[in-house]
Structure 1
Amino acid sequence: MGLDKNERMVQEQALWQGLCDGQPEAFDGLIRSFSKSLFGYGSRFCQDRDLVKDCLQELFVELWNKRSSLPLPRSVKGYLFIALRNRVLREQGRWHKRTSLEEENFNFLVEYSIEEQIIAHTEDLELARKIKMLLDRLPARQKEIVYLRYYENLDYDAIASLMQINKQSVHNLLQKAYKSIRVEWVPLICLLHELSLARQ
């Protein structure tokens, strides 16, 4: 049985504190815990996977080098996602202040690995294809927020910090996504929630 959300956050905070204290095993634990999800997230808005890998490696090197001065974030996962996102977009030369909170400045690819992820949980190829089609209808910002909320299981505060918007805008974007896919929303969210739990 996996850890619940609170237990997982306590474990992540302990690893982070260990990193700040200079414990190599805690640093290794953070890398093992977050490398896969960080790389997956970065690859959804940057198709240059080598660039994402380089940015991820640089991020972890910087964390170790600056370990004694790191803040203690409320959400370790949220902090790491923000750090990687900023680094990748900056390296791409596309990191600039948005003129609108909901401006679409980049593509966000949601590849839920249909064959390996969705089908494994639904055992229904047609349903899996329908879910992929529904997600592909959404604009990039809505697609990203659905991914973060229901696949990466981030809370509203972490999403707001990551996307540099306020919590009300997070709510608004989710509501827009809801209106876009209407009656199919409930089974879609239930399935994404199952996938999120399976990844814990």
Structure 2
Amino acid sequence: MTQITKFTDDSILWDCFRDGNEAAYTELATRYYRTLLHYGLRFTPNVQIAEDTLQDLLIHLWLHRGNLNETASVKFYLLKSFRHRIIKTLKPLSGELELTQQLDDHLMEFSSEEALIQDESETGLKNQVKELMTQLPVRQREVVYLRFFQGLKSEEIGALLAIKPQSVSNILQRALSNLKEMWPITPSFSFIFYSFFEIIL
């Protein structure tokens, strides 16, 4: 019997979970709960709705675990499933136009463990990026979030958003161009700015 710990690989946890292992299910839920909740808050500022929808998803996964397929990326599967469920939940409540407006207006907040830049000397960059991200169009903001704060590949983002990988790359390039135009270049931030874009290009 496989011993489940916080270090167990996602693929092993997923297979054990599909076989009915409660410890594997609990570890997966614990491992990705915060990530999924933060992603849900990209769609609505209502924490209660995001939490309730996430709980519904986790219950659904457990009840239908025997019908789940293998997946190359558990994180991608969960993000895709949650995205579909929360959009489905929100549409009857607010209508598609209001949902889009919520996405445009909602401030993207990143937890410390999700931040790309951890070094103290780059704290100013992180704050600048966080502020400027709110000025990007909604699709650019979501793609940047999924790529650089959730670590998804262009192919995975394309599958998640139902667009081609090349379209993902194009959106990223437009987002970076927009950020460059908005960035308040000063001598103190110049080096960090170009280092940041060298990392993500």
1:142: Cα distance to partner? Answer: 0.7
1:144–1:169 CA distance, 2 compared to 1 (3 A): same
1:24–1:94 CA distance, 2 compared to 1 (3 A): same
Decide which of 113, 129, 132 is 2:127's aligned counterpart: 129
Residue in structure 1 matched with residue 175 of structure 2 by the alignment: 177
Name the CA distance, whole Å, in 2 between partners of 1:112 and 1:39: 12
Decide which of 10, 14, 24 is 2:12's aligned counterpart: 14
Residue in structure 2 matched with residue 31 of structure 1 by the alignment: 29
Residue in structure 2 matched with residue 45 of structure 1 by the alignment: 43
The structure that has the greater radius of gyration is 2
Name the CA distance, whole Å, in 2 between partners of 1:38 and 1:190: 28
Name the CA distance, whole Å, in 2 between partners of 1:129 and 1:21: 44
Gaps of 5+ in 1: 1-7, 99-103, 193-200
Q: State percent identity of aligned pairs.
A: 31
1:90: Cα distance to partner? Answer: 0.6
RMSD over equivalenced CA pairs, Å: 3.0
- Match runs of 1:133-144 below 5 Å: 133-144=131-142
Residue in structure 2 matched with residue 160 of structure 1 by the alignment: 158
Amino acid at match of 1:25: A
1:75–1:89 CA distance, 2 compared to 1 (3 A): same
Name the CA distance, whole Å, in 1 between partners of 2:49 and 2:14: 25
| TM-score normalised according to structure 2 size | 0.76
| TM-score normalised according to structure 1 size | 0.76
Decide which of 69, 74, 87 is 1:89's aligned counterpart: 87
Confirm or deny: 8 A CA contact 2:116 2:149 kept in the other structure: no
1:182: Cα distance to partner? Answer: 2.6
Return 156-165 or 76-85, whichever deviates more. Answer: 156-165
Residue in structure 2 matched with residue 3 of structure 1 by the alignment: none
Higher relative contact order (CA 8 A, sep 6+): 1
Gaps of 5+ in 2: 1-6, 184-192
Confirm or deny: 8 A CA contact 2:116 2:148 kept in the other structure: no
Amino acid at match of 1:35: Y
